[in-house]
Amino acid sequence: MSRSSIDVRRRLTLRGLLATTSLVFIVVTVFSMGATWFWIADLIANLRIQILIAGACLLLINALAREKWLLFPLCLGMAFHCSFCGEFFRSAQIGSAKGTAVRVASINVLTSNSKHRLIIEEIRRLDADVVAVLELSSTLAERLRMELVEKYPHQIIHPLDRSNFGIGLLSRSELTGPDVFELNETIVSISAYTKGFRVIATHPLPPMNQALFKSRNAHLRLLSERINATDDQTKTIVMGDFNLTPWSPHFHRFERRSSLRRATKGNTITPTWYGIDDQFLFGLPLDHVLISSDLDCTGYEVGNDIGSDHRAVMVDVMVR
């Protein structure tokens, strides 16, 4: 076989590979449009940052290979995904409010995680006024009572050992009007007032099949209704593991229904959950703090490795 024939075959192979991978990108993008209705499409929608990184690489390679016919559909697909991420970047930016301040943190510790010393050290380091502890086991709950009673004398604790839905709320200041409630499932959420702020800790089911997907969405819908049911909707903070990224249509829907917005540090995309170690491409921001329109975010931090698959989220909030 001549050298020219080999070069032609290589070019054809490269063109076929680029066409195939680009087609996969386009099919995935189209399928993600069903995220409102289907759980697999929703899982794909939660991977928009990874999809955008893959799309940017494909766009560059196709441009270098002069496969111009693939550039437009790739650009169109990337623009679609960016339209959801843009909403995230425009969410509650760091402000300069000068009113009453509170620091809150949400930390998913993983029920099976035995590194309780790391968890307690992290809670001390974050130095929040109010801490939501998710996936709280009875063993860890007892240690929190014993070792953090001076720092957090006010605690609402509901541990569970048989599932990943134990929950607790720790506070420096008195927790008034405590409300331990269930929504569509036998999963506890907690609401209380402290320092004039209404704080809610919650943890819906992960959408790993169609039934769980519907359950998570119902949880968020009922929670938004509960938030709006009270006469006073000011100074509200909702935090927890939402099993949802900010670029899912269901996250946008919850923001709209609850009249809350995500507190964040501008355009950060730091994951709070990692599927594999601390590898960015295998991570997602699933843990959030959302605040009402009369509040500003003045500080944001993702915590350290505590032996869980999640990292804590700490937010400083001030009244406008």
> Read out DSSP for 21-44?
HHHHHHHHHHHHTTTTT-HHHHHH
Between the alpha carbon of residue 76 and those of residues 22, 50, 63, the distances in Å are 12, 16, 15
How far, rounded to the nearest angstrom, does the alpha carbon of residue 18 sit from its chain's CA centroid? 33
- Cβ atoms of residues 134 and 288 within 8 Å: no
**Once rounded to an integer, what is the mean pLDDT over residues 152-173?**
95
Tokens 């359950």 — which residue? Answer: 215
Q: Which residue has the higher pLDDT, 260 or 7?
A: 260
Q: What is the mean pLDDT of the chain?
A: 88
pLDDT over 70 (residue 8): no
Q: Does 157 score more than 60 pLDDT?
A: yes
Average pLDDT over residues 296-307: 93
Alpha-carbon torsion (128, 130, 135, 141), positive or negative:
positive
pLDDT tens digits, 61-91: 888 877 777 788 888 888 888 888 765 555 4
pLDDT tens sequence across 172-193: 999 999 999 999 999 999 999 9
282 token code pair: 């295998």
What confidence tier does 267 reach under pLDDT thresholds 50, 70, 90? low
Which amino acid belongs to residue 311? R
pLDDT band per the 50, 70, 90 thresholds, residue 231: low
Query: How far does Cα 156 stand from its chain's mean position?
Result: 23
